[in-house]
A and B are shown apart, each in its own frame.
Chain A
């Protein structure tokens, strides 16, 4: 789209026409427009070119030869000492309105402010977005006749309005009545921002709670708490207990990978404990991992303690004891069971997997740390002492690990040792 636009620009077509062409390209969304690229299409002059600025700017920044600052950047740089919070953001936006009565360059300013919102921590603040929309001059961009309505009226402004709404959408901010009122005033009922608004009202409500396993907005900073959250997130059984087997050493909690004593947090449900107690000691258990789990924008890694699926001949058939229920028969001596014609369930081919006995999240993914986890597990699962445990730690955790870049150096040192599967008798090996 932008190349189309560039070509049009080069041919010097009237700007309104060019914008229409670009907008009616099939499937071209407005918001793809980079805020800086189509400067030439802007209907209002930028402050640098403006010589007729009526209101003197408080601090006119000089053009730097190296990096060209975005227009109005100075509004956000004014007070370097003060904290970047909602108040200062509001101040910056208001100062634009105060010093720029004609609202020249407001589109550029809005694009800039949108980019700055994350810095100021207001990217989820509905009031901040409404404030931004309020910058637009009212009633100016409303189409007044049928032709204006047919063709996109003031496309760049409409794109900018859509961009504001889009950023709201990306951060899950639901527009309210005030937003609607502002959009009506600025662009009128049948405009693209209004269409976007209506769609947001419809779909945001439907998608806001679409995740049946919601993750809190603010993730805990503490590694142990984060691990607990992640473990609870994975474990469906609510009676499962989270145990902190090892606390991170207090001096280095920021980066758990570098701490001398990494944290070890595990989860196990009573059912898993029972299953582990019944496990045949002749069959080894495996510690596998690390596997990744994304919690919003954080990636955590976990390990599982699992066993292979029992071969069918070893499965113990659960038989109904003779003397079980004091009150009523537990089975009827009929020859047949429920027939197929009465079964309306979908025919689902279920693949059985081996049992998982426990999950843990640790600050380090080496065998030493995980062995300490197994030791801790032995306290609540005495049967574990008799079962051999094999550590099958993956050499690389794939791109996810590289992306986080947490423990590459330590990991790579140990990978060589861990690559080969070593059977460790728990009692002697790791204690």
Chain B
């Protein structure tokens, strides 16, 4: 019976795929809009790049039907057959569950159709991810498999490599894992110790080393491994560079430790993987020899955007679960839902989910544009915002239930544990904030330096422009970036929010300029400044995303768009004031800025490696 159902589903998926081929063939050339410049980078210059952001990216009706067709069976499967509690308790995904996931085609979501995958676009991948997110352990297993594990093969693999590995990986016959982290090397690639040496006959690399915290390490049979190799430079000197390899478990010498006991996502398999004299054929070098570093960066950057839609789905689920409780539980003869402090939590959850969704699908839409747009900053912003949002929301949801939420009878404690990893993996949020800020500032710095050089050379038009701008700034001109007004891109009911965004963007551009002039290249060491820059950028990106999405909803008349306006306006106002505060902190000598004190406190504590203050009950005599 179930086999029959499976077959049907498989057929549906295959049909979807075929239709998709036709679609992609017809669809892609139609989008001829010029490739947008990176949105976030332009924000750092105080400009809003409207191309690609307004209007909100859409999918065609056919695509929508396709994706719904795909999502339905997956959702049904997760709701009816996956027992997340059992997976969490036993720390393992049951084999039959894995088999069904494979038969649904979920192991090859982004593998091109010609290699037997579903070939989903980023948008559709994000949508399907929502269905999968119902169980975090499975989500992580699948993400480790295809968002990072086999991504390298799709990105830079040769035709032979693709033909050899992708079909089996797409079907789930083989599971992939991504082996980068080492005991002494988290984000520091220079301390990678694993080494691959070319054999005498130059046909093999001998791979040695150990990797830790490898998701799917125990299940996988194909590994993307990063190791040091000796590479001859153009000038003849030999240098150690990182190279990526496709390593099969059958090559020999591959062992893995026992699964790690984790706080959350306990069903996913995480373990150490050791390579001992593993012979890797030279054909299995992924990309160029010595090009592993760039590849690793690309893979890591490309995998992040989907976290937004996954998190939004989790929050939606949380809202359903807690709303039922809040509307039935009575205290003092009143339902919980009548209390303001409980209502506030629901508003927060809805707002976070709305912003996350908007950011995720906006980014996915940007990624789906023709050409290979670089949306790594946007993806990182989505990751930071959504991981923190989902952590906050699970905590608030648990709070709504009070003591019950703390019990294992309810799923909230498990969801809270599972959500915690989101702040850590795929680049911790701290590191991603630095990435967001520094990449943006780098772009701004280049433009600024060019302008400064022009000024030095005495280019009259640039000088006049600069002086004119200063004058206009000092006279307090109103900011208008074309979002509002008669021909504005934002709907009039969101006008106030749009104006707030414009003001933020304008001020931010000036602040970035001031920061760069003030700190120069030493700004890389000002992490507290960078954190604020990143926070402002994330907020502004969220504002743009919700404004764009809500405007579209109103204009095409989606149901309940008035609710969307409420959420969008609420977020924009909150973000606006947060941004203003952060911006004022970025001013020189701002009284709000406590960085010096913060650093001093931390230094004193770290010097002693303990809490310094005497006990409040201590006496002098």
Binding site for B on A (CB under 8 A): 174-176, 204-205, 208, 236, 238, 321, 323-339, 342
Report which of A175, A205, A327 forms a contact with B427, defined as CB distance below 8 A: A327
| B431-447 CB contacts (< 8 Å) to partner A | 431-432, 434-435, 438-439, 441-442, 445-446
Q: Is the interface of A mostly helix, strand, loop or mixed?
A: loop
Q: How far, in whole Å, are A331 and B438 apart by their CA atoms in the complex?
A: 9
Interface assignment of B615: CB less than 8 Å from any CB of chain A: no
Q: How far, in whole Å, are A337 and B522 apart by their CA atoms in the complex?
A: 5
Report which of B427, B435, B439, B442 forms a contact with A333, defined as CB distance below 8 A: B442
Report which of A321, A324, A326, A334 forms a contact with B445, defined as CB distance below 8 A: A334
Q: How far, in whole Å, are A330 and B434 apart by their CA atoms in the complex?
A: 10
Interface assignment of B16: CB less than 8 Å from any CB of chain A: no
Least Cβ distance of A344 to chain B in Å? Answer: 9
13 additional A-B residue pairs with CB within 8 Å, beyond A204-B621, A323-B189, A337-B520: A324-B188, A326-B293, A327-B187, A327-B427, A328-B438, A329-B435, A329-B439, A332-B442, A333-B446, A334-B449, A335-B521, A338-B518, A342-B588
Report which of A175, A325, A334 forms a contact with B187, defined as CB distance below 8 A: A325
Is the Cβ of A176 less than 8 Å from the Cβ of B441? no
Is the Cβ of B438 less than 8 Å from the Cβ of A332? yes
Residues in B neighbouring A323, C-beta threshold 8 A: 189-190, 241-242, 293
Q: How far, in whole Å, are A323 and B291 apart by their CA atoms in the complex?
A: 10
Residues in A neighbouring B242, C-beta threshold 8 A: 323
Report which of A204, A330, A339 forms a contact with B520, defined as CB distance below 8 A: A339
Residue from B180, B241, B300, B449 having most chain A Cβ neighbours under 10 A: B449
Is the Cβ of A334 less than 8 Å from the Cβ of B520? yes
**What sequence of 0s and 1s flags, for each residue 450-492 of chain B, a beta carbon within 8 Å of any chain A beta carbon?**
0000000000000000000000000000000000000000000
Q: How far, in whole Å, are A332 and B515 apart by their CA atoms in the complex?
A: 13
Least Cβ distance of A317 to chain B in Å? Answer: 16
Residues in A neighbouring B187, C-beta threshold 8 A: 325-327
Is the Cβ of B300 less than 8 Å from the Cβ of A334? no
Is the Cβ of A332 less than 8 Å from the Cβ of B441? yes
Interface assignment of B519: CB less than 8 Å from any CB of chain A: yes
Least Cβ distance of A105 to chain B in Å? Answer: 31
Q: How far, in whole Å, are A225 and B442 apart by their CA atoms in the complex?
A: 55
**What sequence of 0s and 1s flags, for each residue 83-106 of chain B, a beta carbon within 8 Å of any chain A beta carbon?**
000000000000000000000000
Is the Cβ of A327 less than 8 Å from the Cβ of B300? yes
Is the Cβ of A342 less than 8 Å from the Cβ of B518? yes
Least Cβ distance of B428 to chain A in Å? Answer: 9
Q: How far, in whole Å, are A391 and B180 apart by their CA atoms in the complex?
A: 48
A324 with B189: in contact, given A205-B620, A334-B516 (CB under 8 Å)? yes
Report which of B180, B188, B190, B521 forms a contact with A331, defined as CB distance below 8 A: B521
A205 with B621: in contact, given A238-B609, A326-B293 (CB under 8 Å)? yes
Least Cβ distance of B419 to chain A in Å? Answer: 21
Is the Cβ of A331 less than 8 Å from the Cβ of B524? yes
Is the Cβ of B435 less than 8 Å from the Cβ of A328? yes
Determine the residue in chain B with the shortest Cβ distance to A342.
Answer: B518
Residues in B neighbouring A175, C-beta threshold 8 A: 621
Q: How far, in whole Å, are A3 and B88 apart by their CA atoms in the complex?
A: 91
Is the Cβ of A332 less than 8 Å from the Cβ of B524? yes
Least Cβ distance of A186 to chain B in Å? Answer: 20
Residues in B neighbouring A333, C-beta threshold 8 A: 442, 445-446, 521
Residues in A neighbouring B293, C-beta threshold 8 A: 323, 326
Interface assignment of B296: CB less than 8 Å from any CB of chain A: yes
Least Cβ distance of B111 to chain A in Å? Answer: 24
| B496-549 CB contacts (< 8 Å) to partner A | 516, 518-524
Is the Cβ of B189 less than 8 Å from the Cβ of A332? no
In order of increasing CB-CB distance, the 10 nearest A-B pairs are: A174-B621, A328-B435, A323-B293, A336-B520, A334-B521, A337-B520, A338-B522, A328-B434, A205-B620, A327-B431
Residues in A neighbouring B519, C-beta threshold 8 A: 337-338, 342
- Some 21 contacts from A to B, beta carbons below 8 A apart, are A204-B620, A205-B620, A238-B608, A324-B190, A326-B188, A326-B296, A327-B187, A327-B427, A328-B439, A331-B524, A332-B523, A332-B524, A333-B446, A333-B521, A334-B445, A334-B520, A334-B521, A335-B520, A337-B521, A339-B518, A339-B520
